[in-house]
Amino acid sequence: MKKIINDFALLICMSLFVISCNSTQGKNLVIEKPIQAIDTTIVPPQRIELLDSSEAYWKNKLSEEAFTVLRLKGTERSFTGEYWDNHTDGVYVCKGCGLPLFTADTKFESGTGWPSFFKPINEMYIKNINDESHGMVRVETICARCGGHLGHVFEDGPAPTGLRYCLNSISLNFIANAKIANK
């Protein structure tokens, strides 16, 4: 009798084991949605609608580091960002609102350790404003749509503009191999 009970208990244990295995396999069998082919042609907006979001919105949307730079005008340490040494073709968009800002073909080696560009996709997409903080007189560059701090612009860049947009990687997202429509 004792053996029968033991055998019965063993059977239950084995059954539970099989059920749990099956349920695990079931989870593994969930088929993820297939990844859609991404259209890498970005159609730039013809006009900019200002995005006036609250601090709480940005805190929720951005990482702490991105919030510090984009919303509090911080600066990432040089040679530490994701894009200063990025040589892939593509489009850089605002991390705050996704507005396309710069293309890889206007990026150049500035030696500063920050991604540097000589020309935005459209002058309308950025705003340059005087910045006299930290005891310096500089021109700050912000995203024209969301007001996010991107970096500064200096007049020691290469031809044809002579400008150097010195930006924080963390203010940007990079879409590899994307193209701007009609460019």
Q: Is the peptide bond before 34 cis (omega within 30 degrees of 0)?
A: no
Nearer to Zn ion, 145 or 164 (CB): 145
Query: Do β-strands 138-143 and 149-154 pair in parallel, antiparallel, or remain unpaired?
Result: antiparallel
Q: Is 166 a catalytic residue?
A: yes
The token pair that represents 159 in the structure block: 């031809």
Q: Please report how close the Cβ of residue 48 comes to Zn ion at its closest, in angstroms.
A: 9
Applying CB under 5 A, what is the total number of residues that bind Zn ion?
A: 8
Nearer to Zn ion, 66 or 94 (CB): 94
Can you say whether the dihedral through the CA atoms of 51, 55, 61, 66 is positive or negative? positive
**In degrees rounded to 5, what are phi and psi of residue 106?**
-110, 10
Instruction: Determine, following the binding rule CB under 5 A, whether residue 95 of this chain makes contact with Zn ion.
Output: no
Q: Please report how close the Cβ of residue 44 comes to Zn ion at its closest, in angstroms.
A: 13
Choose one: 12-20, 53-61, 144-152, 155-163; the region binding Zn ion (CB under 5 A): 144-152
Instruction: Determine, following the binding rule CB under 5 A, whether residue 94 of this chain makes contact with Zn ion.
Output: yes
Among 62, 142, 143, 163, interactor with Zn ion by CB under 5 A? 143
Mention every residue, 6+ apart, whose C-beta is less than 8 A from residue 169. 76, 81, 82, 83, 84, 114, 115
Contact between 133 and 149 (Cβ < 8 Å): no
Instruction: Determine, following the binding rule CB under 5 A, whether residue 148 of this chain makes contact with Zn ion.
Output: yes
- Catalytic sites, residue numbers: 166
Which residues bind to Zn ion, rule: CB under 5 A?
A: 94, 96-97, 99, 143, 145-146, 148
